[in-house]
Amino acid sequence: MSFGSLNDFIILNTFLDEVKMISAGRLPEETFLRTIKLINQEFPTLDENDSLRVLNLLMQMYNQNNEEKIELVLTAPPSFNLRAKRTEDVVDELLQSARVSITMTGYSVSEYIKDFLDVIINKSQKGVFVKIFINKVDEQNAIEKLIAHKGRFLKIYNYSNETDKMAALHAKVISIDNERTLVSSANLSYHGMSANIEMGCVIQSKKIADKINEVFKNLIFGKVFTEI
């Protein structure tokens, strides 16, 4: 049994699509019915156990190529020559790469990131499921365009603690496709992206992304956030 044909390419891409659908909760865990069907069509002499072994090999290869990785991300004045990825570039790359989902938080959002907001809207209109958690929506004029486009694939949640006016959604997180997550001190603003000294990291880890999504799911369930 050899790999390298067009059909093998189709099997591999079907497998990757199903992995992402499972990660996004759109398929039951450990369901690869389309992939197994294609394997059986391409290799009709294989029995059920052999087909499952091929699927298991694909999973092992996928896991080896998706090991957890952490990279440093910095914001600093442009004159600083730092050997690390810059926050603004990382945010742009993450949003542009999203194919399944975007989870994002904003403590302070300014007009400086309007291009990023356009990308988010465009992604949602193409079926990428976007959840944005904003601190005190009424004070964030820059997201009016986002609010105008909210709908099935673009959900916006507000945090406003009426019992403690000093409490805030202060987390700065962008999680993409349930795989890669930026955790940073940088706000979604000019200073956060370009002028301040900010530090964070990009984490490639499905486990971490799952935990972050679970945190926000529980906060929604507990009515800490209100969908607008």
Structure token pair of residue 14: 């079907």
Task: Mark whether 172 is an active-site residue.
Answer: yes
Cα angle 188-111-95, degrees, rounded to a multiple of 5: 50
Task: Mark whether 223 is an active-site residue.
Answer: no
Task: Mark whether 149 is an active-site residue.
Answer: no
Catalytic residue, from 123, 131, 155, 172: name it: 172
Catalytic residue, from 37, 126, 170, 211: name it: 170
Catalytic residue, from 123, 131, 155, 177: name it: 177
Phi and psi at 83, nearest 5°, equal -90, 65
How would you label 149-180 residue by residue, b for 16+ Cβ within 10 Å and e otherwise? Answer: bbeebbbbbbbbeeeeeeeebebbbbbbbbbb
DSSP 196-220: S-EEEEEEE-HHHHHHHHHHHHHHH
DSSP structure class, residue 195? I
Catalytic residue numbers? 170, 172, 177
